[in-house]
Structure 1
Amino acid sequence: MANNVPSNTDDFDEPAAAPGIGRRSFMLGVPGALLAGASLASPSAGAATADASASDVHDDPVKIPSRPWKVAFEEHYMTSHFDSIVRKDTKVAARTGVYADLLDVDTKRIELMDRAGIQYAILSLNTPGIQGETDPAAAVSDARYANDELRRIVDRHPGRLGAFAALPMQDPAAAADELDRAVRELGFHAPLVNSFSNLHTENGVVYLDEPQYLPFWERVQALGVPLYLHPRNPVPSQQLMFRDHPELLAATWAYLVETSTHALRLITSGLFDRYPDLQICLGHLGESLPFMAWRVSAVYARHAHRVKLKHDLLTYLKTNFRYTTAGFFDTTATVEVMNFVGRDRVYFSTDYPWMDMVQGGQWLDNAELSDADRWRIGRMNAVELFKLKLAPTA
């Protein structure tokens, strides 16, 4: 899927306009807000680095730029049109000012990106997004509205903001068509789906491994884009384990359980045997799956005799999934995931505004990693995955 993009971004040519997009929208010139200064110092000789066997990339010398250079792509927004469904699903996780931060896609966000050293952020509609709509027809119209609105937002900040498509998964055929429009006409990088989708009622749900989604997945593979599988809270009928403990909902724990289970459903359905080129992005360092992979795979192999997969679960987690650091600013855990899947499949992100963008950027800047690993995770892996053409950073 990835292009052979040079590690020195000064070698990039000016990007051509995406199909159906005005040339101005994709002129990724160096913004005037980029900061000047000295390069970051190299880490100490004892810096933690992924095992050489975990990656195919050579450790060429890397000089980390001082100006914003990172790419982040679990970065959320909303508009007043979608305020009600966002508040309904995330109210227990709200912190002071988070909704104002979601609505601000201009001055404050760009200033924080500069402080965090982020050159380019790909925005996605905050959870549950379109997945929280119970009426399929409304989901279809809302997704189209959301994507047109996001196109106008990113056009205001060429070279700094990109877009993930919101999709009406309540209607698989319409979702496939909207994805095609978003990628081919609007120039979006990929879709983001907030786990399961409601259907007709609050407790009616559909998951992406169900048979009606096979034509949708065929379209995703044909377009050659990844899909970001993002969390949302379980529906009320599935929240009994959290009874009397609402503080354990959302990002504290419920998101992890919901999304890791959904990812395992995709694997065990045989989806990746049918469509082996599919790539799924998971945030929060894989919702615990890299750390539980050996046990889950070993026990599954003993008990799932009726399911015939071409590979063990470990293989799918290493070949069909990508992992971001969104909301997980922990060097030890990041290195563990790098050693599990290779550093080419680990990506920087912050989970803003639910997590502190500047804290995330400063963590990567100062993490005990080699500069080669920092550069791959912070920038080049995303450049290759999304075929980005970004302005020089130094």
Structure 2
Amino acid sequence: MRYIALEEAFAIPDLAARQPATPMGIKVTSEYAAMVGRKIIDFEEHRLPDMDANGIDVQVLSLTVPGIQADESPAAARDNARFANDFLAEAVAAHPDRFKGFAALPLQDPAAAVAELRRCVEELGFVGALVNDHTHGRYLDHPSYDDVWAALEELQAPLYLHPGSIPADDWHLLDGRPELYGATWSWQAETGGHALRVIYGGVFDRHPRATLILGHLGEFLSFQRSRLDSRYRTLALSRSLDRMPSQYIGSNVLATTSGILAPEAVQAAVLTAGEDAVMFAVDYPYEETADAVAAVAKADLPESVKAKIAHGNAERVLGLARSQEG
């Protein structure tokens, strides 16, 4: 089975030195931190052998958290996005059959984000973009980002919405329970809520061909489709959506399997979002590649559906089939 992995992180030490210190508040073991530290800055010594050992044909690489969302000024964001994307382009060029790239965008300056997106897709050959949640409290339903969505739609480039920006809210729910912060729970709630802002903000009504990708099985939104619709029917709204909220999930909003290592969860995502809406990802180096592959391989699904998850849907959504034909 051919596997294309969509949420695979890299870091650039020189970039981190240029950016403000951003403690993320997640405490992990020293052994885990050391392992991630070795692998996340590497492209050949650890990453390619891990891919080969587990049957991963392609990793789509993206800048790790908090990425460009850490930058405070638009000027710094513009410079650092270009620096990061040029660095990634070199890594992809060294192994073009094994790596593809998601652009980092300086959303602090929406016009610059549009220009950088175009440069990355049209000149560097990137297959989309990835942002780490909000940008200093400004979410993707903000009117200032309408041109960004228009460019994504025009370029047929998906936007991957990843958790991990600097916290915008002081969640008292997390007080005294730091275990709940981050990938364990709070990131899913924050990122899923961000995606709902995009849906309820009418972004996909204005840009019906735009695509938003969510990791972690769609931050579990597909499992809430019926409830979203039942509650939407009760709301007194000044403006109605063109469709029911559930209908954007599985069409405009797609999911990857990143970080969810349970075959039964993959099955459920297919049942709720559809077999054309789920794509494979590992969340390398934060998760084990073998476990991510097993979650798809052991799922009680037809082989034709597993092939869509493993590679077919990604080839369609990222335009990889088009680029290979060309």
Matches within 5 A, 1:187-206: 187-198=125-136, 205-206=137-138
**Cα offsets for 1:331-386 (capped at 9, x unmatched):** 22212221222211110111111111122123323333321111111011111111
Matches within 5 A, 1:1-394: 64=1, 69-83=2-16, 88-90=22-24, 92=26, 94=28, 95-96=32-33, 97-198=35-136, 205-232=137-164, 235=167, 237-389=169-321
CA contact (8 A) 2:180 2:186 kept: yes
The 3-state SS of whatever aligns with 2:126 is coil
Cα distance in 1 for partners of 2:58, 2:270 equals 23
Cα distance in 2 for partners of 1:304, 1:356 equals 46
Which letter maps to 1:242?
L
Cα distance in 1 for partners of 2:62, 2:75 equals 21
- Please report how far the alpha carbon of residue 318 of structure 1 lies from its aligned counterpart in structure 2 after TM superposition: 2.8
Greater alpha carbon shift after TM alignment, 300-309 vs 315-324? 300-309
The 3-state SS of whatever aligns with 1:368 is coil
Change (3 A) 1:368 1:90: farther
CA contact (8 A) 1:86 1:129 kept: no
- Please report how far the alpha carbon of residue 161 of structure 1 lies from its aligned counterpart in structure 2 after TM superposition: 0.7
Cα distance in 2 for partners of 1:163, 1:320 equals 21
Cα distance in 1 for partners of 2:154, 2:37 equals 36
Change (3 A) 1:227 1:368: same
Greater alpha carbon shift after TM alignment, 248-257 vs 94-103? 94-103
- Please report how far the alpha carbon of residue 263 of structure 1 lies from its aligned counterpart in structure 2 after TM superposition: 0.4
CA contact (8 A) 1:116 1:360 kept: no
The 3-state SS of whatever aligns with 2:233 is helix
- Please report how far the alpha carbon of residue 131 of structure 1 lies from its aligned counterpart in structure 2 after TM superposition: 0.8
Cα distance in 2 for partners of 1:232, 1:138 equals 19
The 3-state SS of whatever aligns with 1:343 is coil
Bigger helix share: 2
Change (3 A) 1:236 1:262: closer
Gaps of 5+ in 1: 1-63, 199-204
Change (3 A) 1:289 1:122: same
**Cα offsets for 1:174-200 (capped at 9, x unmatched):** 0000000000000000000111012xx
**Cα offsets for 1:207-254 (capped at 9, x unmatched):** 110111111111111111111011115626423321111111110011
Cα distance in 2 for partners of 1:128, 1:100 equals 18
Residue correspondences, number: 318
The 3-state SS of whatever aligns with 2:46 is helix
RMSD between superposed Cα atoms in Å: 1.8
**Cα offsets for 1:39-79 (capped at 9, x unmatched):** xxxxxxxxxxxxxxxxxxxxxxxxx4xxxx21001000101
CA contact (8 A) 2:267 2:300 kept: no
Cα distance in 2 for partners of 1:287, 1:304 equals 26
Change (3 A) 1:219 1:236: closer
- Pick the structure with greater CA Rg: 1
Cα distance in 2 for partners of 1:87, 1:328 equals 29
Change (3 A) 1:242 1:105: same
CA contact (8 A) 1:75 1:351 kept: yes
Cα distance in 1 for partners of 2:71, 2:253 equals 27
- Please report how far the alpha carbon of residue 86 of structure 1 lies from its aligned counterpart in structure 2 after TM superposition: 9.6
Which letter maps to 2:22?
K
Relative to the length of structure 1, the TM-score reads 0.77
The 3-state SS of whatever aligns with 1:344 is coil
- Please report how far the alpha carbon of residue 323 of structure 1 lies from its aligned counterpart in structure 2 after TM superposition: 0.7
Cα distance in 1 for partners of 2:38, 2:45 equals 12
Gaps of 5+ in 2: none
Greater alpha carbon shift after TM alignment, 154-163 vs 258-267? 154-163
Greater alpha carbon shift after TM alignment, 254-263 vs 236-245? 236-245
Cα distance in 1 for partners of 2:310, 2:318 equals 14
Cα distance in 2 for partners of 1:86, 1:134 equals 8
Change (3 A) 1:168 1:177: same
The 3-state SS of whatever aligns with 1:107 is coil
The residue that corresponds to 1:23 in the other structure is none
The 3-state SS of whatever aligns with 1:302 is coil
Change (3 A) 1:252 1:86: farther
CA contact (8 A) 1:280 1:321 kept: yes
- Please report how far the alpha carbon of residue 82 of structure 1 lies from its aligned counterpart in structure 2 after TM superposition: 3.1
Task: Identify the structure with bigger relative contact order (alpha carbons < 8 Å, sequence gap 6+).
Answer: 1
The 3-state SS of whatever aligns with 1:75 is strand
Cα distance in 2 for partners of 1:89, 1:138 equals 19
The residue that corresponds to 1:58 in the other structure is none
CA contact (8 A) 2:296 2:306 kept: yes
**Cα offsets for 1:151-182 (capped at 9, x unmatched):** 01111212111100000001000000000000
Relative to the length of structure 2, the TM-score reads 0.92
